[in-house]
Amino acid sequence: MGKNELHPVISVRLFKNEKCFGPGINELLKRVEEHKSLRSAANSMQMAYSKAWRIVKDSEQALGVKLLRSTTGGVGGGGAALTPEASKLVEAYQNYLVALNSAANTLFEETFEEFLK
């Protein structure tokens, strides 16, 4: 599918009673993994630390699972790392997006065939 052809963009949010997980918290967790700190992860997304903290807390509460753990560093240290549950969740979400996008593209070509001529 060329970039200028009509194509679907799928977005996935996970809910229980309320929203638990989506593109924002997923990106934030991936960046915590990379930067080993919530503050640096937030900075790298031009997001206020307080907002990042709130996003993590809201997701933890909705899921009923702890997503981040503190790591102690050297002087002025104190970073963050993903809990095993968060790592599994990020991986599952990523795998899910890949599988779903593949299904979405196939279904799209079937359903929108006449718009793609």
Give least dist CB 63 to a copy of itself, A.
8
Q: How far is the CB of 26 from a copy of itself (least distance, A)?
A: 13
Half-sphere exposure of residue 27: CA atoms within 13 angstroms, side-chain side = 12
Task: Label the pairing between strands 19-21 and 79-82.
Answer: unpaired
- Return contacts of 104-108, CB within 8 angstroms, 24+ apart: 104/8, 104/10, 105/1, 105/7, 105/8, 108/7, 108/8
66 binding a copy of itself? (CB under 8 A): no
Interface stretch with a copy of itself, choices 5-13, 40-48, 49-57, 75-83 (CB under 8 A): 5-13
Contacts to a copy of itself by CB under 8 A: 3-17, 20, 63, 88-89, 92, 95-96, 99-100, 103-104, 107-108, 110-112, 114-115
